[in-house]
């Protein structure tokens, strides 16, 4: 069941759900708007010949209040907010329609597991032929919360738990890669 603004307020008030910092205007009828942070990571394409799922990619890390995303370019970004989900809530990260209509594709694999805590790393792609200016603090996506039928038996404790700043892929830590070694 998708949570209403009323239920989200109750969970925030009692501390079962944490989203910080949070301003009242970010609360929507069935979601919480999340804002763009100042941390970015871009694959260091000048020093790599290819990407390999079995080895850590190299990233250029950037900290800035304003970024110009060139046409047809991909970058990782982070939310300003740090979230903490209880073990009985899951969440979906969706781009805001108004931003999508400007050609910015926003993704984060779309799903946040129960028990996750950290800043959300967003995958941004500018589908335009024009550069797109991104300013920190702008509402960029929305967190849609859903209550599970019961608390997770094994809440999230994965490789992105507690992440802060734009966090690159850690797919090389997957169990099937580790079992090869």
Residue 123 bears catalytic tag? yes
CB atoms under 10 Å from CB of 137, counted, come to 11
Which residue is catalytic, options 94, 117, 123, 147?
123
Q: Can you give the pLDDT of all 181 residues of the chain as single tens digits?
A: 999 999 999 999 999 999 999 999 999 999 999 999 999 999 998 888 888 889 888 999 999 999 999 999 999 999 999 999 999 999 999 999 999 999 999 986 678 999 999 999 999 999 999 999 999 999 999 999 999 999 999 999 999 999 999 999 999 988 776 566 5
CA atoms of 114 and 46, how far apart (whole Å) = 37
Task: Decide yes or no: CATH 2.70.40.10 for domain 5-48+57-169.
Answer: yes
**How far from 94 is each of 60, 69, 104, CA to CA, in Å?**
26, 20, 12
Q: What is the pLDDT of residue 180?
A: 60
CA 137, 69, 107, 166 dihedral sign is negative
Q: What is the pLDDT of residue 46?
A: 87
CA atoms of 39 and 124, how far apart (whole Å) = 13
Q: What is the pLDDT of residue 181?
A: 54
Q: What is the pLDDT of residue 177?
A: 62
């Amino acid at each position: 069941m998708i949570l209403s603004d009323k239920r989200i307020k109750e969970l925030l008030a009692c501390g079962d759900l944490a989203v910080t910092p949070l301003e009242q205007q970010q609360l929507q009828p069935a979601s919480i708007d999340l804002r763009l942070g100042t941390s970015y990571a871009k694959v260091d394409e000048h020093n790599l010949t290819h990407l390999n799922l079995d080895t850590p990619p190299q990233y250029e890390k950037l900290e800035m209040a304003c970024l110009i995303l060139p046409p047809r370019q991909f970058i990782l970004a982070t939310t300003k907010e740090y979230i903490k989900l209880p073990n009985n809530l899951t969440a979906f990260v969706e781009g805001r329609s108004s931003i999508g209509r400007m050609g910015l594709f926003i993704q984060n694999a779309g799903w946040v597991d129960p028990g996750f805590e950290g800043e959300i790393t967003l995958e941004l792609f500018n589908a335009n032929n024009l550069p797109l200016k991104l300013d920190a603090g702008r509402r960029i996506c929305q967190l849609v919360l859903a209550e599970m039928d019961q608390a997770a038996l094994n809440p999230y404790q994965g490789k992105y738990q507690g992440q802060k700043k734009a966090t690159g892929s850690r797919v090389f830590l997957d169990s099937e890669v580790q079992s090869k070694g």
